[in-house]
Amino acid sequence: MWERELDPGQLLARVTAAQIEGVKLRRAEKVERSTADKDLGVLKAFFNWSMDRGLAATNPVRKVKFFHANNERIRYLKDEEWDRLRAAALKHDDRSRLVDKMVLARHTGLRRANLFRAEWIWVDWLTRVLRVPRTKNNQAHAVPLNDTAYATLKRLYAERDPELDSPYIFVHPQDSRHAGKAVLDVKTAFHTALKDAGIVDFTWHDFRHDYASRLVMAGVSLRAVAELLGHKGLRMVMRYAHLSPGYLSDEVKKLDTFTLGAPGTERATKGQRAPTGDWSRAKVVKFSKKIGSPHWTISATG
């Protein structure tokens, strides 16, 4: 993209922030702002790489402001939406195993790449866990299988073609030119099913949001949801917090019985006793510092 927008023969020293800003604005008219930010990130990394090797003196991207678009969307399927989508997908399932992929996506929260490239060796039948050796974050990730996901995988294993001898769960059949290879594309069938079901503003990645949202609404803690999604912290899952049935409700209920000055209502301070007496008559302690002394001391009048 940058080779199209900028002259490949142009010296790096002649690439200006104004040029990059123009590309950014034109790009934002065609794609999402988050995508434009990713493009800027690529160019910024390229200039940093060039500077480390003495090929460029400055990085003009540093002067360009990123959009920093808010991508914290939440989209999940209501039960009736899921029923409509599943029924529509059955009509376009053919050999892509679209419905099975949708079910596993909704019950494991796996990213599309990990699900479509999943291998049978990842499935631990004894502990009912699917172990992804490497995720987007270059980390191993173990996903517990609920009854729905486990039953789906068990059926797929029983229906597999042993003659293909393929390691993948979702594979092209023998009479296909890609026989034995993983089925990586269900875009046409999936989009057709969405259209037939009358479902809008839903992407395949939203199955991951659907998984997390339903867990939170079922009362699962945010910490557990973060671990199930493979996140290291809580920042990414805080977007689902408001879906929790008891989110902050117990905290605000404390005000119903709160009385200022009642035992246990004072703010605790480490190493200090609970305050006693009348605060309104408390004396202010005066501090003084002797000449040449690095410490403050309580004065005699205090």
Provide the pLDDT for residue 302: 45
Provide the pLDDT confidence category of residue 280 given band limits of 50, 70 and 90. low
Q: Which residue has the higher pLDDT, 184 or 153?
A: 153
Length of the chain: 302
Provide the pLDDT confidence category of residue 271 given band limits of 50, 70 and 90. low
Q: Is the pLDDT of residue 160 over 70?
A: yes
Instruction: Kindly report, residue by residue over 36-54, the tens digit of the pLDDT.
Output: 999 999 999 999 999 999 9
DSSP, residue by residue, 248-294: THHHHHGGGS--TTSTT-SPP-TT-PPP-S-GGGPPPPPEE--TT-S
Provide the pLDDT for residue 281: 59
Instruction: Kindly report, residue by residue over 173-215, the tens digit of the pLDDT.
Output: 887 888 888 888 888 889 999 999 999 989 999 999 999 999 9
**Which residues is 182 bridged to in the sheet?**
171
Q: What is the largest CA-CA distance in the chain?
A: 97
Q: Name the strand (E) or helix (H) holding 133.
A: none
Q: Select from 199, 205, 194 the least CA-distant residue to 74.
A: 205
Provide the pLDDT confidence category of residue 274 given band limits of 50, 70 and 90. low
Instruction: Tell me which range, 4-18, 131-145, 163-177, 233-247, is most confidently predicted by mean pLDDT.
Output: 4-18
Sequence-ordered list of residues with C-beta below 8 angstroms from that of 139, at least 6 positions apart, any chain: 230
CA 165 to chain centre: 34
Q: Is the pLDDT of residue 267 over 70?
A: no
Domains of the chain: 2-63 (no CATH), 79-243 (1.10.443.10)
Please give the backbone phi and psi of residue 171, each rounded to the nearest 5 degrees, phi first: -130, 155
Provide the pLDDT confidence category of residue 35 given band limits of 50, 70 and 90. confident
Sign of torsion over alpha carbons 202, 35, 236, 205:
positive
Q: Select from 132, 134, 143, 70 the least CA-distant residue to 106.
A: 143
Percent pLDDT > 90 in the chain is 52
pTM above 0.85, yes or no: no
Provide the pLDDT for residue 131: 95
The whole-angstrom separation of Cα 200 and Cα 26 is 27
CA distances from 294 to 256, 297, 302 (A): 49, 10, 19
Sequence-ordered list of residues with C-beta below 8 angstroms from that of 140, at least 6 positions apart, any chain: 131, 132, 133, 134
Sign of torsion over alpha carbons 153, 156, 158, 163:
negative
Instruction: Tell me which range, 33-37, 101-105, 157-161, is most confidently predicted by mean pLDDT.
Output: 101-105
Q: Which residue has the higher pLDDT, 259 or 99?
A: 99
The whole-angstrom separation of Cα 179 and Cα 289 is 85
Q: Is the pLDDT of residue 130 over 50?
A: yes
**Which residues is 132 bridged to in the sheet?**
141
Sequence-ordered list of residues with C-beta below 8 angstroms from that of 171, at least 6 positions apart, any chain: 160, 161, 164, 179, 180, 181, 182, 183
Q: Is the pLDDT of residue 293 over 70?
A: no
The whole-angstrom separation of Cα 301 and Cα 280 is 20
